[in-house]
Amino acid sequence: MPGQPESTPADVDEVLDPEPGPLEPRRSAPPRQRSAIESAADGVVDLGIRVATPFVRFGWNTARGIGRRLGVSDAVERQVGRALDSDAAARTTERVLETPAANQVWDTVLESEQAQKLVERVAEAPEVRSAITSQGLGLLEDVRQTARRAARRADDELERLVRKALRRPARGQRPVFAGGATRLLAIGMDAAILSGILMLIAAVVSALLNAVFSLGGDNTTAAIAFGALAWWLSAGVYLGIFWILAERTPGMTFMALRISTIRGARVGPRQDLKRLIGFALALIPLGLGFLGILTNERRRGWHDRFADTEVLYADPELDSGLPGWVLQPGTRPAPGPARWSGHGDG
């Protein structure tokens, strides 16, 4: 511009491309001293806030009390409740929960170490374990009671059909003697238990023999014959041990049955042995020896008559009202007498 000295190229280069040199630390400016007027203004503001706060609080409380008396608060609460219960609020909530951000938050929370520790603590809590155990035992008890009721109804129906075929009068009341359906279910459970035990033993023995010896050839027939013989011998030992020690097998316990003498006394080991022999003899003629359970007044088969024994119902809740019921020592009494209506529950 006219009147100003022209810049030389050297001056431009010096400004645009200065020679790099050492950087000096920036010195902070000293704090500015507050004036007396500013300090006085701050004091006045603080004093005004302190003086006005009680009046503001009093005014707020007064307005809220008036609103409650006039029903404004209840109206607001009702309107808020209606808004939250509306379909629009539900749809908005669903849209918020279905957003990627919400899913990411849930994934982060569930994958966190704190969430895992919380789940472990809840699972290990004694109250939770006790509740789970109680639920499991309650379910088992319901299944058992349902099976017992159904089996006793089947006993009555089966005996009614047999008596009708034999032109005998129907019973007026369910007897305390166990019927054919319940006893068949009990022996079926015992057979399943015994078969499971023998299959496990056979698998272990077979594995050991194959590991020690190399068995060649077709041994299927011999294995089947040996297995059948072992099963029947094991069944005899199984029944004998449980009859002697507990007067009932696991299957009889599940169906609430017990063995007794015809006089109501405990069955001795000699009678249990005679009963086992009679059981085998009743099987020989294609099971016809058990037909007396359906035709005999005391529901006794060959093995029962051979050993002077009988099988009785033993559930206090279902059978305590039956004629001839005797409460076993150590058995809890029923809450009330059982009633029988011909073909209903026991």
Summarised one tens digit per residue, pLDDT across range 306-340 is 999 999 999 999 998 898 887 665 454 444 444 34
* Phi, psi at 258, each rounded to 5°: -150, 155
- The answer to whether residue 250 is domain-embedded is yes
- The answer to whether residue 123 is domain-embedded is no
Specify burial of residue 144 (Cβ count, 10 A radius: 0-12, 13-18, 19+).
middle
- The answer to whether residue 230 is domain-embedded is yes
- The answer to whether residue 15 is domain-embedded is no
C-beta pairs of 295-298 under 8 Å, 24+ apart in sequence: 295/162, 295/166, 297/175, 298/175, 298/177, 298/262
Q: How confident is the model at residue 69 (pLDDT cuts 50, 70, 90)?
A: low
Candidate ranges 9-13, 25-29, 118-122, 217-221; pick with highest mean pLDDT: 118-122
Domain encompassing residue 241: 147-212+220-319
Q: What is the pLDDT of residue 203?
A: 86
318: CB partners within 8 A, 6+ apart: 145, 148, 149, 152, 256, 338, 345, 346
Q: Are 326 and 313 in contact (CB under 8 A)?
A: no
Q: How confident is the model at residue 123 (pLDDT cuts 50, 70, 90)?
A: confident
User: Among 28-42, 54-68, 89-103, 277-291, whose mean pLDDT is lowest?
Assistant: 28-42
Task: Give the count of domains, the chain.
Answer: 1
- The answer to whether residue 303 is domain-embedded is yes
- The answer to whether residue 190 is domain-embedded is yes
Please give the C-alpha separations between residue 283 and each of 120, 180, 279, in angstroms, as whole numbers: 55, 15, 6
Give the count of beta carbons closer than 10 Å to the beta carbon of residue 293.
27
Task: Give the predicted TM-score (pTM) of the model.
Answer: 0.59
